[in-house]
Amino acid sequence: MEWDSESEGSNGDEEEGFLLSGGSGGPFSFAVEGVLGPASSCGLVVSDALEPDHPIIYVNRGFEESTGYRAEEVLGRNCRFLQCRGPFAQRRHPLVDATIVSEIRRCLEEGIEFLGDLLNFRKDGSPLMNRLQLTPIYGDDETITHFIGIQFFTDTNVELGPLLSSAVKESARPNRLITEHVFRPVSLGHTHICREFCSMLQLSDEVLCQKIFSRLCPRDIASVGSVCKRLYQLTKNEDIWKMVCQNAWGSETTRALETVPGAKRLGWGRLARELTTLEAAAWRELTVGGAVEPSRCNFSACAVGNRVVLFGGEGVNMQPMNDTFVLDLNSSNPEWRHVKVTSAPPGRWGHTLSSLNGSSLVVFGGCGTQGLLNDVFILDLDAQSPAWREISGLAPPMPRSWHSSCTVDDTKLVVSGGCADSGVLLSDTHLLDVTMEKPIWREIPASWTPPSRLGHSLSVYDGRKILMFGGLAKSGPLRLRSSDVFTMDLSEDEPCWRCITGSGMPGAGNPAGIGPPPRLDHVAVSLPGGRILIFGGSVAGLHSASQLYLLDPTEETPTWRVLNVPGSPPQFAWGHSTCVVGGTRAIVLGGQTGEEWMLSELHELSLVSSIINVKEDD
Amino acid sequence: MGKTIKLISGDGEMFEVEEAVAFQSNIIKSLADEDNADDCIPLPRVDSQILSKVLEFCRKHANSPSVHTKFAAIPSELCPKHDGSAAGASSSESSSAHSETCRACYDAVMKLVQWDLEFVKVDLDLIHHLLKAANYLDIEDLMFMAVEGAANAIRGNNPEEIRKLFDLENDFTPEEEKEILKEYSWLDDPFEP
């Protein structure tokens, strides 16, 4: 089929072609008769898509000869009259497959091509099989101006009975006209594919792959892929693996992973594997430009997409700072940049900065010029002019510093423990939905809480569960570094703290395996699938800051595992100055010397194969 | 009954069902909407045994929200605890916020899901027919559950069991099988305690 938009050879011969003017643009013409074959079996119909009910504006000789209707009888009518048996029938004949008719209508509405077989009738009432192809024609401004129907008519010897019998009786006859080879357009989201429907495994491959396999977990996909060659091939589908990852890790995580440069190149299958085995994890050093000035320590770092954001901190004269810096790791030469934000929060250190919904950050608490704080500020880094916005929640928790926080459901801030005025350690847990019209803080009542502490970590796993690890915890009159693990399920009606194993006293009863030495201000990374990775922090004695410990709280018997990772690890890593970018790498600031004001040398723990020099638009 | 629709299966049996039941099928719904629609809608590709199973599913789902494709998106109007005068409930808050806070709706959804899971605990042959019918008639929830039924049949089985289930031959050479085992070995516990 060729649409020759340049030739105008059809001018003089009405039978051979047709000249259409495309709206505001120039005319275009086409001549198809020669390609269609003997005129008597091939119809060509053009309808006007801009007029109501798509009236016919042209039919060719082949149409006239096949159907017995002359052009002047049909111009201006919708083509559906062919579904009525004869010129006097008022309704579509019941043997015409209604689903095909509906599909035609849908294709017309959506402006996409249709291909299928439809029962039609000549003017004399005799049945015709119409293999129909409908194609939209676009005018100059991308709107559809016409539809072209190409019809291959063949005789069919379906038994119809007398012309005026009732619908029920007609349909009760054995249906010989729908043969094995009737094509029914199958819509699968955005793709329209015509396939034969036979046995289960010959269901269109796309249906099998995307729908059924997408429900399986990785282990089941592996079983399916080991069955036979055909199924092995089918399980190699990227869309399936993406669904599998989403089912296993949740849609938040998969969404975040999608923004990681190089993730698409790696493919979801390989991503699933590498994030499970951590076989490609490695440390490397990064040098970046720019500067964070005036220099400071005890700031907070958090990532938004592929940008590291730094807020606040304690200056050289112990003054609390309130400026904001961004490091865009996507750029070819990442450098620290001071961000001009309107209405910055009061300066502070010892606060928490957490990521909310992938483009915003939320600050809570810390120590300011006037003492401890309990305010909440949000920054939308993707806004036109980023501005800090205060969230005034009713009944805020006690002001505090060196507490821990996390965000749940893209909407709720959870805050726990910390150090209050006069150095008292806290053990309470509070929750604030920042997206509500009038946010109200809610303390999570618990009949039992873990010993109060500061410098511990709160990680989210498995949707709405939180895991608390370590910190400097109250133990009688003393404060000891802790390596305890506690979890809480926020989706329960009455959430409560649970010890992973063993007793609740610091230092006693821990998960099985070789656990990390007790510590505070460490790094806790939530891995897809619910595992937590721990490293760094202030550890008593000579322990490597970069030794990695892995725990899966969803296991029957959670057990610590040690992970050895090659590369150039940092000497120091603090929780407040380390952030996780895209769920696949941890960026450690100030890890060379422990002095955080050296911010041009970074360390990166990459959890998946790092693709060198990858930019986001690749 | 309210307004009814007449359906005719491929083997000529007639089923008369309420609109709400039949309109679970987007195909039937759009056919009934047509101006020159017939009194009876012929469904030549679905035989009576399958059609009755399909209609059983549709009957159960007739006045429930679509639980699977939009899980937890329960409009406040359907909740017995809300009298529709939920003033100030913005559209964005209505769906998921509603079912999160409304225990009754959440429980109703859970019950329906349980019923559906039982419904698709049938042999693969029937699931296969339900899949075809759900696709042909464009019934979202039935498609969702039939797929879940097929996935359930596969879950937890080793390759040999899956072969038996689908009557498939193992066409790998021993070397190829070894390669595949290695390829998927990452699913075994990579961390020995």
User: How does pLDDT run across A266-290, given as a tens digit for each residue?
Assistant: 888 888 888 888 989 999 999 999 9
B136 vs A: CB within 8 A: yes
Question: Which residues of B fall within a CB distance of 8 Å from A207?
Answer: 131, 135
CB within 8 Å: A228 and B168? yes
Is the Cβ of B190 closer than 8 Å to some Cβ of chain A?
yes
The pLDDT of residue A170 is: 31
Task: Please name the residues between 124 and 183 in chain A that touch chain B, using a CB distance below 8 Å.
Answer: 167-168, 171-173, 175, 178
Flag if B31 and A227 touch (Cβ within 8 Å): no
Q: Do B12 and A171 touch (CB under 8 A)?
A: yes
Q: Write out pLDDT tens, residues B98-135.
A: 545 566 666 777 788 888 888 988 888 888 889 889 88
B25 and B58 in contact (C-beta within 8 Å)?
yes
Judge whether residue B156 has pLDDT over 50.
Answer: yes
Residue B187 confidence class, pLDDT cut points 50, 70, 90: confident
Other C-beta atoms within 10 Å of B174: how many?
Answer: 7
- Please indicate whether, in this complex, the C-beta atoms of B181 and A226 are within 8 angstroms of each other: yes
Model confidence band, residue B1 (pLDDT cutoffs 50, 70, 90): low
* B43 reaches A (C-beta below 8 A): yes
* Rounded percentage of chain A residues whose pLDDT exceeds 90: 38
Position A16 scores a pLDDT of 33
Contact B180 A101 (CB under 8 A): no
Least confident of A441-450, A502-511, B20-29: A502-511
pLDDT score, position B68? 52
Asked if B170 and A219 come within 8 Å (Cβ–Cβ), the reply is no
Question: Which of A475-484, A568-577, B65-74 comes out lowest in average pLDDT?
Answer: B65-74
Cβ within 8 Å, pair A227-B27 = no
Q: pLDDT at position A126, please? A: 83
Q: Which of A146-160, A215-229, A326-340, B2-16 has the lowest mean pLDDT?
A: A146-160
Report, as an integer, the average pLDDT of A457-468. 92
Q: Across the strands, what pairs with A42?
A: A152
DSSP state of A451: P
B154·A224 Cβ contact <8 A: yes
Give the per-residue pLDDT at A243.
86
Give the span between the Cα atoms of B165 and B179, in whole angstroms: 24
pLDDT per position as a tens digit, A135-149 = 999 887 788 989 999
Q: Which position has the higher pLDDT, A76 or A397?
A: A397
Query: Which residues of chain B have a CB within 8 Å of the CB of A168?
Result: 8, 14, 40
Inform me whether the C-beta atom of residue B39 falls under 8 Å from chain A C-beta atoms. Answer: yes
Burial of residue A176 (CB within 10 Å: 0-12, 13-18, 19+) is exposed
- Integer Cα distance of A49 and A55 in angstroms: 8
Across A216-226, average pLDDT:
89
Give CA separation, A574 vs A331, A515, A521, in Å. Answer: 25, 19, 6
Amino acid A191: pLDDT: 23
Sign of the CA dihedral with B30 first, then B31, B37, and B41 last? negative
Q: What is the pLDDT of residue A169?
A: 31
Identify the residue among B186, B189, B192 best suited for mutation to test binding to A, counting A beta carbons within 10 A and taking the highest.
B186
Of B137, B151, B156, the CB nearest to A215: B151
Closest approach of A207 to chain B, Cα-based (Å): 10
Higher pLDDT, A302 or B103: A302
- Partner-chain contact B172 A229, CB within 8 Å: yes
> Do A3 and A26 meet the contact criterion of CB atoms below 8 Å apart?
no
**Residue length, chain A?**
618
**Alpha-carbon distance A117 to A151, whole Å?**
9
Q: Tokens 């919904």 — which residue?
A: A357
ipTM of the modeled complex:
0.79
User: What is the reported pLDDT for A584?
Assistant: 87
Interchain contact, A225 vs B156, CB within 8 Å: no
> Could you tell me which of A507, A227, A63, A324 has the C-alpha nearest to residue B164?
A227
Residue of A99, A211, A552 to mutate for B, most B C-beta atoms under 10 A: A99
Which residues fall within 8 angstroms of residue B193, CB to CB, at 6 or more apart?
A512, A513, A559, A561
pLDDT digits (tens, 9 = 90+) for A521-554: 999 999 988 899 999 999 987 777 889 999 999 8
CB contact under 8 A, B163 and A94: no
Kindly state the tokens that stand for A413: 């801030």
Please check whether residue A94 touches B, CB under 8 A: yes
A488-514 residue pLDDT tens: 999 888 899 988 853 444 545 567 778
Helix (H, G, I), strand (E, B) or coil at B160: helix
Regarding predicted confidence, which is higher, A471 or A198? A471
**Of A182 and A442, which is predicted with more confidence?**
A442
Whether the Cβ atoms of residue A300 and residue A308 lie closer than 8 Å to each other: no
Q: What is the pLDDT of residue A413?
A: 96
Residues A336 and A292 sit within 8 Å (Cβ to Cβ): yes
* Higher-scoring residue by pLDDT: A373, B73: A373
How far is Cα A214 from Cα A217, in angstroms, rounded to an integer?
Answer: 8
CA nearest to A182 within chain B = B45
Q: Which pLDDT score, from 0 to 100, does residue A160 have?
A: 62
The answer to whether residue B27 neighbours chain A at the CB level (below 8 Å) is yes
State which of A81-85, A333-337, B40-44 shows the largest mean pLDDT.
Answer: A333-337
B157 contacts chain A (CB < 8 A): yes
- Mean pLDDT across A219-236: 88
Secondary element (H or E) of residue A248: helix A238-249
Task: Please report the pLDDT score of residue A208 as a whole number.
Answer: 57
User: Which residues of chain B neighbour A186 with C-beta distances below 8 Å?
Assistant: 135
Per-residue model confidence as pLDDT tens digits over A476-486:
899 999 999 99
In the A/B pair of chains, how many CB contacts fall below 8 A? 139
**Interchain contact B135–A (C-beta under 8 A):** yes
The band of A4, judged by pLDDT with boundaries at 50, 70 and 90, is: very low
What CA–CA distance (Å, rounded) separates B141 from B150?
14
| Residue pLDDT, tens place only, A354-408 | 999 888 999 999 999 999 999 999 999 888 888 999 999 999 999 999 999 999 9
Higher pLDDT, A187 or B34: B34
Q: Does residue B148 have a pLDDT over 80?
A: yes
Considering only CB atoms, B187 lies closest to which of A213, A219, A513, namely A219
CA distance A521 to chain B (A): 26
Other C-beta atoms within 10 Å of A194: how many? Answer: 13
pTM (predicted TM-score): 0.65
Share of chain A above pLDDT 70, in %: 81
Residue bearing the bigger pLDDT, A208 or A219: A219
pLDDT of residue B100: 53
Q: Which of A294, A305, A401 is nearest to A338 (CA)?
A: A294
What's the pLDDT band for B95 if we cut at 50, 70, 90?
very low
Residue A374 has which token pair?
Answer: 């309990």
Across B150-158, average pLDDT: 89
> Considering only A214-218, A237-241, A441-445, B73-77, which range has the smallest mean pLDDT?
B73-77
User: Does the structure show a pLDDT above 90 at A473?
Assistant: yes
Q: Token digits for A536? A: 């760094």
pLDDT over threshold 50, residue A8: no
CB contact under 8 A, B43 and A225: no
Whether B166 and chain A come into contact, CB under 8 Å, resolves to yes
Q: Is the pLDDT of residue A23 over 60?
A: no
DSSP state of A123: T
Question: CB–CB of A167 and B170 under 8 A?
Answer: no
User: Would you say residue A468 has pLDDT above 70?
Assistant: yes
- A82, A83, A171, A277, best to mutate vs chain B, most B CBs in 10 Å: A171
State which residue of chain A sits closest to B181, comparing Cα positions. A226
Mean pLDDT of chain B: 77
pLDDT of A325 > 60? The answer is: yes
Of A172, A225, A231, the CB nearest to B12: A172
The A residues from 228 to 267 touching B (CB cutoff 8 Å) are 228-229, 231-232
Q: Does A337 touch chain B (CB under 8 A)?
A: no
Between CA A552 and CA A306 the distance in angstroms is 26
- In this prediction, residue A1 has a pLDDT band, given cuts at 50, 70 and 90, of very low
- Nearest C-alpha in B relative to A512: B193
B87 touching A, CB under 8 A? no
Which residues of chain A have a CB within 8 Å of the CB of B155?
A: 216-217, 220
Residues from chain B that touch A197, judged by Cβ atoms under 8 A, are 132, 136
| Model confidence band, residue B38 (pLDDT cutoffs 50, 70, 90) | low
pLDDT of residue A161: 54
Residue A480's closest CA among A509, A440, A452? A452
Report the candidate in A597, A576, A595 with the shortest Cα–Cα distance to residue A587.
A576
Instruction: Please tell me the predicted confidence (pLDDT) of residue B66.
Output: 60
**Secondary-structure percent of chain B, ordered helix, strand, coil, rounded to 5:** 55, 10, 35
B46 touches A at CB < 8 Å:
no
- pLDDT at residue A29 tops 70: no
